[in-house]
Amino acid sequence: MTEERLIISRKTNNKFFLMIAVGVVLLIAGIIFMAAGGGAEHHAEGHGEAAAAGHEAASWTKRLFVNLWLNNVYFTGIALIGTFFVAVQYVAYAGWSALVKRIPEAMASYLPIGGIVMLLVFLFGGHDIFHWTHEYLYDVNDPRYDPIIAGKSGYLNTVFFLIRMVVYFGLWILFTKWLRNQSLSEDLNGGTSYYHKSIRISAMFLVVFGITSSTSAWDWVLSIDTHWFSTMFGWYVFASWWVSGLAAITLTVIILKQNGYLKMVNANHIHDLGKFVFAFSIFWTYIWFSQFLLYWYANIPEESIYFIDRLGGNEGHFAWIFFFNLVINFVFPFLVLMTRDAKRQMIMLKIVTIAILIGHWFDFYLMMMPGTLRTDAGIGFIEIGTTLVFLGVFLLTFTKGLAKASLVPVNHPFLEESVHHHV
């Protein structure tokens, strides 16, 4: 098989840099508006409730840090799913995916950047994002002492939190590089030894991923609402990351195919990716509904508060996102991708995958904003600007990773099977 190289034109790279530049301009504009009193009305109305709940009314720095955290958790998750997808294919001895495996491999290129940003945002903005980082909560003599949060201090303390963060990224990047090196060595030298070694590495990674994907979700998302807990939360965040990652892989395959690359990828590969996206949109909804139903039915105040904050609480501030989240992440993909033909048509899949990627950004928004910014949250220049900066950086690292190796893993033992894949 001949190798196929992706050439990123200067024009394409310039588009990504333009995206980052526009994001920075919007971000600065948003900060100026807020500093000049754009957030003043929110400030006044939200202050009493926010103070009562132990949350200060939001300044522009707080809003910036929360947005940096939101986007970094979202894009780090998509990058991590790249390695997870590759590992699952190896462990399952999957042949069909050989032609597309270079895309998830390259997606994981963002992980080192994600790790650095995560560390810096926590060190400088941890107090703005996480209520549990305030020292007074643990001081029995302070009137603001919180026995529930103090009881969690064995796990939720700054030092252990930082150690866990470094361990997560260290392990993820180690396994990503290890699998990538096997993949590139296989291209050069051939044989099946690299393939068999990759299976063993993937099996180890999946064990690590199973634990760290849940604990990182508790750390980075769940601990924002420090009093609340859910035994399904690790699964919920994983489902959101996983379907976003699948949408990103599928969308990239379609865009590359439309630009004349991946010539050996056919409608059957597209169909399989479409089935994945369709199935795991339903899986995400199943997890969402299971979590919601249990809390709704039991109706215990300290449990249901999480959903009340997102539905009627906070002056109904998040209610529209609550329902929009369900429509864009479940109803829309479910109805559009239901038929076999829709899953084989690139235009249909392109529309659905873009909708899912936007939808799950909103999913993470809904997980983080009610516990941090409360009624001061909104979708403004700061949100759009931060997202554009992260998207631009992600696309730069992703395409650079894609261009570094052949798009076709020329010596993959199952390449022939993938070329003749038919469903």
What is the CB neighbour count within 10 angstroms for residue 75?
26
Query: What angle is formed at CA 28 by the lines to CA 24 and CA 34, rounded to 5 degrees?
Result: 145
Check: CB of residue 374 under 8 Å from CB of residue 49: yes
C-alpha Rg value of the chain to the nearest Å: 22
Q: Per-block average pLDDT, block size 10, for the chain (423 residues)?
A: 87 96 97 76 36 58 96 98 98 96 97 98 95 93 93 95 98 98 94 96 98 97 94 96 98 96 95 97 97 93 91 85 96 96 95 98 96 90 97 97 94 94 88
pLDDT at 53: 44
pLDDT at 315: 81
pLDDT at 41: 37
Q: What is the 3-state secondary structure (H, E, C) of the chain?
A: CCCCCCCCCHHHHHHHHHHHHHHHHHHHHHHHHHHHHHCHHHHHHHHHHHHHCCCCCCCHHHHHHHHHHHHHHHHHHHHHHHHHHHHHHHHCCCCHHHHHCHHHHHHHHHHHHHHHHHHHHHHHHHHHHCHHHCHHHHCCCCCCCCHHHHHCCCCCCHHHHHHHHHHHHHHHHHHHHHHHHHHHHHHHHCCCHHHHHHHHHHHHHHHHHHHHHHHHHHHHCHHHCCCCCCCCHHHHHHHHHHHHHHHHHHHHHHHHHHCCCCCCCCHHHHHHHHHHHHHHHHHHHHHHHHHHHHHHHHCCHHHHHHHHHHCCHHHHCCHHHHHHHHHHHHHHHHHHCCCCCHHHCHHHHHHHHHHHHHHHHHHHHHHHHHHHCHHHCCCCHHHHHHHHHHHHHHHHHHHHHHHCCCCCCCCCCCHHHHHCCCC
Q: Return d(Cα 58, Cα 72) in angstroms, integer.
A: 20
Q: Return d(Cα 179, Cα 186) in angstroms, integer.
A: 11
pLDDT at 1: 65
Residue whose pair of structure tokens reads 């302070």 in the numeric block:
142
Q: Return d(Cα 311, Cα 309) in angstroms, integer.
A: 6
CB-based contacts of 26-32 (< 8 A; 24+ apart in sequence)? 26/381, 26/382, 26/384, 26/385, 26/388, 27/64, 27/381, 27/382, 27/385, 27/386, 27/389, 28/385, 29/381, 29/385, 30/60, 30/380, 30/381, 30/382, 30/383, 30/385, 31/60, 31/64, 31/382
CB-based contacts of 207-214 (< 8 A; 24+ apart in sequence)? 208/171, 208/172, 208/175, 209/80, 209/83, 209/84, 209/87, 209/172, 212/167, 212/168, 212/171, 212/172, 213/80, 213/84, 213/237, 213/238, 213/241, 214/238
